[in-house]
Amino acid sequence: MLDEIHNLSEALKLWDVRQAVAEALRRAQKDKPSYSAFLLELLRREHEGQRNRAIAARLRRSGLREFWTLESFPFHIQKCVNKRAMYELAELDFIDRGESVVFIGQAAVGKSGLASSILVKALYAGKRCQAIAAQDLFEELGASHADRSARTLLKRLAHLDALLIEELGYLNIPDPRQINAFFRLMDERCSRRSTIITTNLGFEEWGKFLGNAPLVAALLSRLLQKCRTITFSKDAVNLRNPKLGLPARAARPAILDAV
């Protein structure tokens, strides 16, 4: 009978039931739980396993290079960051409201760490999220024009619950169609979906690197209607300073190795 239970569990893709049923039966012979309690235990195991596998899959597909967490961020060192405000963002209400967040500051002050930690929270909560470096985004937008898949790419990116664009700054953008596609993407997302941006440029500098002041003005007008700006002060601490003894890389989420 146990073999048949294993086979049926595998056919139904109830992987955790298959793994747990033998031990559950042994305990049941000793503890003699009710039928409903026995079934409930197996269903809880399966539900937890499916949830963990879904989270792990979202993390792997997210494009995040590092899985930082708010709990590991050195707020005691980077004192210009409002810890309470970051934890309020981590409640993810801004995603439900379609608000965007822009982190502005110099390199190595923790912009990407904070932004990625918010995205990790969203992924655990079941949100559809993706992270991408700005240079890679513009290259993908350019390639999509070459193979005529721009509409498909823009539709996919536009419908994400949260899109993290990292390192938006002075980039090599030779094709104006890339910039136009970026404006189209942002126009689709503004006020509807949350976009998280990390940049070393103040808003007044965006027109210079994107090269189209009127379009940038229109973009910022829409973006800033529903946007939170986290600005690091000029004297923000360089968190890559080896004297601080901070970890250079984020710890790998245990859930990725557990499923």
pLDDT of residue 69 exceeding 90, the answer is yes
CA separation, residue 106 to residues 69, 168, 189, 202, 221 (Å) = 20, 12, 26, 10, 24
Pick the range with the lowest mean pLDDT from 25-39, 64-78, 89-103, 229-243.
25-39
The pLDDT of residue 8 is: 86
pLDDT computed for residue 78 by the predictor = 98
CA 252 to chain centre: 15
The CATH number that domain 64-249 falls under is: 3.40.50.300
Distance (Å, whole) CA 186 – CA 172: 19
Residues carrying CATH 3.40.50.300, the chain: 64-249
Confidence label for 133 from pLDDT (cuts 50, 70 and 90): very high
**Confidence check: pLDDT of 170 > 80:** no
DSSP character string of 223-242: HGGGEEEEE--TT---TT-G
- Predicted confidence band of residue 65 (pLDDT cuts 50, 70, 90): very high
For residue 208, the 8-state DSSP code is: H
Q: Which residues pair with 103 in a beta bridge?
A: 198, 230
pTM of the model: 0.93
Using the predicted structure, report yes or no on whether residue 259 has a pLDDT greater than 80. no
Q: What percent of the chain has pLDDT over 70?
A: 100
In this predicted structure, the answer to whether residue 174 has a pLDDT above a threshold of 80 is no
pLDDT value for 176: 87
